[in-house]
């Protein structure tokens, strides 16, 4: 998964174009490494799924 694609997905989540994004186990580490560099990192919530996958949502208010 390329960084440009990850940024595009995160921007779509932020803008409400998509409500959630499924990240496979194989793409989790590259996805997270891009996510933690963002200023709005705390607005994203990842929910772990069975098998090492995750589903990400964008929150209006940052998590603590």
Query: How many domains, in total, are found in the chain?
Result: 1
26-54 pLDDT, tens digit each: 999 999 999 999 999 999 999 999 999 99
Q: Is 63 within the bounds of a domain? A: no
By residue range, what is the domain housing residue 21? 3-58
Q: Which of 54, 43, 48 is nearest to 10 (CA)?
A: 43
Q: Is 43 within the bounds of a domain? A: yes
Residue 56 has pLDDT above 90, yes or no: yes
Q: What is the DSSP letter of 25?
A: G
Q: Is 64 within the bounds of a domain? A: no
In this prediction, residues 13-28 reach a mean pLDDT of 97
Q: Is 17 within the bounds of a domain? A: yes
- pTM assigned to the model: 0.92
CA distance 59 to 62: 6
Q: What is the DSSP letter of 10?
A: H
3 state SS of 48: strand
Question: Who's near 62: CB < 8 A, 6+ residues apart?
Answer: 40, 42, 43
52 token code pair? 């090492």
Q: Is 14 within the bounds of a domain? A: yes
pLDDT of 1 reads: 85
pLDDT of 64 reads: 82
């Amino acid at each position: 998964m390329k960084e440009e694609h990850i940024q595009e997905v995160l921007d779509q989540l932020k803008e409400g174009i998509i409500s959630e994004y499924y990240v496979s186990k194989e793409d989790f580490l590259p996805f997270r490494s891009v996510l933690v560099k963002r200023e709005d990192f705390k607005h994203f919530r990842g929910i772990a799924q069975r098998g090492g996958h995750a589903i990400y949502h964008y929150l209006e208010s940052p998590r603590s």
